[in-house]
Copies of this chain bind each other. A is one copy, B any other.
Amino acid sequence: MKYVHYMTDTTVVLDRVLLLATLVQADLARFEREEGLSTARVHLLWVLGASGPTTQQALAQALDVTPRNVTGLVDGLVASGHVTREPHPSDRRATLVTLTALGTRTVDGLAASHADLAAKLFGDVDPGRLAVFGDVLDETTQRFARLMEKA
């Protein structure tokens, strides 16, 4: 019967973070279903939207998968009309994976849906409290980075 009443148990907090992330993940899954795309392919489109035309090697690094896997993902996205393989201007071995008009629309839609969700979730939170929230997130992320370095 110690005073665990002030229940600021760190595990509970971590669980809440994970729960929120799971819910947001579910929202992303809804988007994917609507677009008829998989998580892996949307991830690739997202990276492509942020970086512009990219070689498959670079995509493999960004997605943290093997180059061979990127070949398969790009195959699917070419078939669905979201990207094309363009020749690299200076390296004839490489191809530049490039968003089509459809691919660009999809990425834009995802960004809009993401911003919309963020506004709905955090828009009504008092600015001061939201600032604390953001700061704690930031500190925690940095603490995590330091932990990983040591290990």
Contact yes or no, A10 B137, CB < 8 A: no
> Cα distance A130–B123 when bound, in Å?
20
Cβ-closest chain B residue relative to A119: B10
Given A132-B132, A133-B136, A139-B125, A144:B13 Cβ within 8 A? no
Q: Contact partner of A132 among B133, B138, B143, CB < 8 A?
A: B133
Q: Does chain B have a CB within 8 A of A140?
A: yes
- Stretch from A17-25, A54-62, A81-89, A95-103 forming part of the interface with B: A17-25
What's the tally of chain A residues with a CB closer than 8 Å to chain B?
45
> Cα distance A49–B151 when bound, in Å?
28
Q: Does chain B have a CB within 8 A of A14?
A: yes
Question: How many copies altogether?
Answer: 2
Q: Contact partner of A133 among B124, B133, B148, CB < 8 A?
A: B133
Contact yes or no, B23 A20, CB < 8 A: no
Given A21-B21, A134-B12, A137-B20, A143:B124 Cβ within 8 A? yes
Chain A residues within 8 Å of B, Cβ to Cβ: 6, 8, 10-14, 16-21, 23-24, 114-115, 117-125, 127, 129-141, 143-145, 147-148
A-B contact pairs, 17 of them (CB 8 A): A10-B121, A10-B122, A10-B123, A11-B118, A13-B118, A13-B134, A13-B137, A14-B24, A16-B137, A17-B20, A17-B21, A17-B137, A20-B21, A24-B144, A120-B143, A121-B140, A125-B136
